[in-house]
Amino acid sequence: QEEEEGVSYFYVLAALPQLTSLDFSAVTRQDRATAAAWKSMNAKAVAGARGSPRRDRPPSPARA
């Protein structure tokens, strides 16, 4: 679970780069750099998680 918390920390920083503190701690330049790297490595997964259609799979059929 600790690994998931680290991932969510960088997910939030990548989504909201203007934050100055998170979880009652100051956001450092290194945190921002790590979040930017995490975002670039996980852009496809993040887009899929938000419900955006992925190019590598066909769209789901509409439900009646």
Question: pLDDT tens, 13-31?
Answer: 999 999 999 989 999 999 9
29 within domain boundaries: yes
The predicted pLDDT at position 59 comes to 62
Distance (Å, whole) CA 16 – CA 31: 12
- Name the token pair of 50: 């938000």
The predicted pLDDT at position 28 comes to 96
**Structural domain of residue 7, as residue ranges?**
2-49
Mean pLDDT, residues 30-43 taken together: 92
17 within domain boundaries: yes
Distance (Å, whole) CA 59 – CA 23: 37
33 within domain boundaries: yes
The predicted pLDDT at position 51 comes to 59
Torsion of CA 14, 48, 55, 35, to 10 degrees: 20
18 within domain boundaries: yes
26, 20 contact by CB (below 8 A): yes
Please state the domain count of the chain.
Answer: 1
